Amino acid sequence: MAELTDVFFVDGMRTPFGRAGEKGMYWNTRADDLVVKAIIGLMERNGDVPKDRIDDVAIAATSQTGDQGLTLGRTAAILAGLPLTVPGLAIERMCAGAMTSVTTMGASIGVGMYDLALAGGVEHMGRHPIGGNVDPNPRFVAEKLVDPGALNMGVTAERIHDRFPHLTKERADRFGVASQHKVQAAYEAGKIQPDLVSVAVKDAEGAWGLATEDEGRRPETTLEGLATLKTPFRPHGRVTAGTSSPLTDGATISLLAGADAVKEFGLAPKMRMVSFAFAGVEPEIMGIGPIPSTEKALKKAGLTIDDIGLFELNEAFAIQVISLLDHFGIDDDDPRVNPWGGAIALGHPLAASGVRLMIQLAAHFAERPDVRYGLTAMCVGLGQGGSVIWENPFFDGKKKRK
């Protein structure tokens, strides 16, 4: 009989993230091939896991169409060389797609139905712009269920500034600059590269190259430079390209396991899932979504925000992270928050980003045995938030050494 079990994040990898559009490195690369490359890299790095023992493959994409449609989890599994006996599915929760892949597979493991699963996401925003191939029901506008601006994420970010005037443009600019500088420092220290899967890419002239690093980084960013940027979502607004995640292509994948599988295959998990939660908010200010989802996840775990020693928060826009920090009484520049920077510099390939947060948190845990709990959280289009709390298996109960 199946029994409840702990759920472990064994490992995670991702492709380098590329700028969306014709000038981006993945313009001539299919979305499903990005996922396939990530799966192959992850399975090669975890060679002790028999491929035929994977119980399911969940892959998310926001735009379920074209080369990122057709039941991605199943097609990617076949293309990656997993046995035909391994099933797969596709998941869609906009920006929290990969996060939902993880929580869905994690829940299946937790109740004893699965032993091992792959969970991740992909977004090729160059080929498939957000909302580019959808037909929203006319009732949304006709019955004023949702303001039309709710589908423009930049407009929703401006509205957080409206609602919380003390969350100023200057604070957002400072956060955006810090993200760029932290990512660059992490790159120079070799922190991010170990979890990247190199991808062969072809340019407009047909020449082949290798994608090995995230393409959208701007380490030269300064406060003075950000102050001069246009505000594309509103005249005299506060949200700029410097405080927004760029449009991005990329894929992520993780390997999850239950306690019995960890023991059977001698695995070394990087994190244990403690709790997760999703929450809904007004679509017009979707960026505050991670606040209620985090409160729900903390309550489920029997923890408080003070128990969280590391935060990986998705920087869709700087204002969204700042609003969560402000709510919980955390400083904008708290060293526990996004220590290696975030999506403002790395990019946010919508449905892939949740697992990127987890990959970075897992890497932090390995270096920080003084930290017991960490949080991955993100806002979600159409007014949602998602949060997952993780425990550090390397926690030794000792305070951080100076």
Active site residues: 95, 348, 379
Contact yes or no for 265/48 (Cβ under 8 A): yes
Cα 17 to Cα 63, 188, 217, 256: the distances in Å are 17, 17, 10, 23
Contact yes or no for 294/385 (Cβ under 8 A): yes
- Residues 357 and 365: their CA atoms lie apart, in Å, by 12
Helix (H), strand (E) counts: the chain? 12, 12
- Residues 276 and 7: their CA atoms lie apart, in Å, by 12
Chain centroid to CA 192: how far? 14
Cα 397 to Cα 212, 273, 401: the distances in Å are 37, 19, 12
C-alpha dihedral (205, 210, 216, 221), degrees to nearest 10: -100
Distance linking the first and last C-alpha atoms of the chain:
49
C-alpha dihedral (348, 364, 220, 237), degrees to nearest 10: 50
- Residues 6 and 247: their CA atoms lie apart, in Å, by 36
Contact yes or no for 213/187 (Cβ under 8 A): yes
- Residues 321 and 342: their CA atoms lie apart, in Å, by 10
Number of Cα atoms under 13 Å in the Cβ half of residue 71: 9
Helix (H, G, I), strand (E, B) or coil at 317: strand
